[in-house]
Amino acid sequence: MGIKFDYSNSFIKEHEYKNMEQIVKTAHTMLHNRTAQGSEFTGWLDLSLHFDKEEYQRLLMKSEEIRNNADYLIVIGIGGSYLGARAVIEALNHSFYNLIEDDKRTSPRVIFAGNNISGKYLSDLFEVVKDKEVYVNVISKSGTTTEPAIAFRFFKKFMEEKYGKEKARERIIATTDKSRGSLKELAKINGYETFVIPDDIGGRYSVLTPVGLLPIAVSGINTDEILKGAFEAEKIYSNSNLFDNECYMYSASRQILNRKGKDIEILTNYEPSLSFISEWWKQLYGESEGKDKKGIYPASVNFTTDLHSMGQWIQDGKRNIFETNLIIKDLDKDLTIESDDMDLDKLNYLSGKTVSYVNEKAFKGTLQAHVQGDVPNLIIELDKLDEYNMGNLIYFFEKACAISGYIQGINPFDQPGVEMYKKNMFKLLGKPE
Ligand code: PA5
């Protein structure tokens, strides 16, 4: 069970890891003793110790109510208040989750809003849900983020017109700070049920709090198992010895490669359902590491799709990249290729083989090609795509990110750079001071 980390194609030599041993140990101590920058946002590190079980039971009850009464759950949020839930829902559910017909589905469709400023997107969404049974989960830690605030203003009106104020309040759930912010205030005044984003957990580390857990549970995924996987990962990745901790080996590998001029990390996958894991990962690493004019630029590709677009660049372009391959060993669904009398498509040599077998060879062939093209490759392998492994993976990436940040000498838990565009936009919009 769990994650395997393979650095045999990284071009990193044993002594380079040895040189990192003490640096990693120091980063570990800084993180665990909470002595470094941003330590007030490290509640995710040992979540199992202060997990609010009562609130979690209430969350599961609410998710049951939504599952029984909604055709659609609209999840309003952006960044860390959006990507984790979507990543897990897309990874673990049916590939066409929202397209499954009404009589065959056991959970509501889940649609995300408030993650853009598009009038078209919102108008189209209202057209789709206007005659349906709807619940809304609005998620914002600060409660003041423009994108979700705009979407929620429209959805609040929609829900009140559709159900009346009284009934609407039962169908709107706010996930926000426990005591501060406009959304908390709005929830109090309107009597919405609320779930808490803990003070010591920042947006992009919050998927295992109600931010992610409520929408994920509504979609029918077993959140107990996700938490089990994450809590187990807390133990697995608590060893301060670099060579005994695969999570730290990943952090160290990234930093060694970065010091050798590899400025871009490309997360690859060979399963379409993992594409939003990459989006979540990009936010986690991009917002955590890109500061003080430092950082590894996190990019992603979906293979084999993007072998027909970005494959050229990766094989032959500038050698400032490395790849991290997120690989699933066994999937529970597959198809076998059959023989065809005519064989016009010349695929009979594959008859009797599964599609996964072909996909695996595509991965191995690509790995060889990119390594021959001087691209260091790391591999993170999950034995299965299930709840337990997902919990494991989320924690693995979060902790590796924090350790990488401390190795790099930055604060992995703040995001001062995102304020600049907001300042300019508000000025252009004439927002009162
Ligand atoms: O990781 C982060 O802190 C950010 O991406 C936030 O999650 C994002 O900006 C949304 O913030 P909020 O939840 O306050 O609306």
Backbone angles phi and psi of 39, in degrees to 5: -65, -20
Mean pLDDT of 105-124: 97
d(CA 21, CA 211): 35
Does residue 273 carry a pLDDT above 90? yes
Catalytic member of 265, 287, 387, 398: 287
Which tokens is 320 given? 């400032």
d(CA 324, CA 376): 9
What sign for the dihedral angle of Cα 205, 210, 211, 216? positive
On whether the CB atoms of residues 322 and 262 are closer than 8 A, the answer is yes
238 Cβ partners below 8 Å, 6+ apart?
32, 245
d(CA 116, CA 10): 37
User: Which atom of ligand 1 sits closest to the CA of residue 202?
Assistant: 3
Return the exposure string of 389-419: e unless at least 16 CB atoms fall within 10 Å of the residue's CB, then b: bbbbbbbbbbbbbbbbbbbbebbbbebeeee
- Measured CA angle at 398 (ends 397, 402), to 5 deg: 115
Mean pLDDT of 113-128: 98
Structure confidence by residue, pLDDT tens digits, 126-161:
999 999 999 999 999 988 999 999 999 999 999 999
Residue 424 Cα to ligand 1 midpoint, Å, equals 18
On whether the CB atoms of residues 111 and 154 are closer than 8 A, the answer is no
Beta bridge partners of 172: 136
CB-ligand 1 contact for 211 (6 Å cutoff) = no
User: Which atom of ligand 1 sits closest to the CA of residue 204?
Assistant: 1
pLDDT of residue 344: 97
187 Cβ partners below 8 Å, 6+ apart?
174, 176, 194
Structure confidence by residue, pLDDT tens digits, 18-75:
999 999 999 999 999 999 999 999 999 999 999 999 999 999 999 999 999 999 999 9
Mean pLDDT of 255-276: 98
CB-ligand 1 contact for 38 (6 Å cutoff) = no
pLDDT of residue 194: 98
Model confidence at 166, pLDDT cuts 50, 70, 90, reads very high
CB-ligand 1 contact for 145 (6 Å cutoff) = yes
**Closest C-alpha residue for ligand 1 atom 5:** 79
Model confidence at 433, pLDDT cuts 50, 70, 90, reads confident
Return the exposure string of 230-239: e unless at least 16 CB atoms fall within 10 Å of the residue's CB, then b: bbbbbebbee
pLDDT of residue 393: 98
Q: Is 225 a catalytic residue?
A: no
* C-alpha separations of 422 from 139, 146, 237, 426, 431 in Å: 19, 9, 37, 6, 11
Model confidence at 190, pLDDT cuts 50, 70, 90, reads very high
Backbone angles phi and psi of 392, in degrees to 5: -60, -50
Q: What percent of the chain has pLDDT over 70?
A: 100
d(CA 149, CA 358): 46
Model confidence at 195, pLDDT cuts 50, 70, 90, reads very high
Structure confidence by residue, pLDDT tens digits, 319-376:
999 999 999 999 999 999 999 999 999 999 999 999 999 999 999 999 999 999 999 9
Q: Is 50 a catalytic residue?
A: no
319 Cβ partners below 8 Å, 6+ apart?
261, 374, 375
Model confidence at 116, pLDDT cuts 50, 70, 90, reads very high
Does residue 1 carry a pLDDT above 80? no
CB-ligand 1 contact for 184 (6 Å cutoff) = no
Residue 140 Cα to ligand 1 midpoint, Å, equals 7
Mean pLDDT of 266-274: 98
Which tokens is 356 given? 């996964």
Structure confidence by residue, pLDDT tens digits, 66-83:
999 999 999 999 999 999
Residue of 40, 81, 146 to mutate, ligand 1, most atoms within 8 A of C-beta: 81
Residue 206 Cα to ligand 1 midpoint, Å, equals 10
CB-ligand 1 contact for 197 (6 Å cutoff) = no
Catalytic member of 13, 329, 422, 431: 422
Determine the 3-state secondary structure of 73 from DSSP: strand
Please give the DSSP secondary-structure letter assigned to residue 220.
Answer: T
Return the exposure string of 44-71: e unless at least 16 CB atoms fall within 10 Å of the residue's CB, then b: bbebeeebeeebbeebeebbebbbeebe
Place of tokens 């990943």: 250
Structure confidence by residue, pLDDT tens digits, 373-401:
999 999 999 999 999 999 999 999 999 99
CB-ligand 1 contact for 115 (6 Å cutoff) = no
CB-ligand 1 contact for 415 (6 Å cutoff) = yes
Q: What percent of the chain has pLDDT over 90?
A: 98
Residue 281 Cα to ligand 1 midpoint, Å, equals 14
Q: Is 162 a catalytic residue?
A: no
CB-ligand 1 contact for 288 (6 Å cutoff) = no
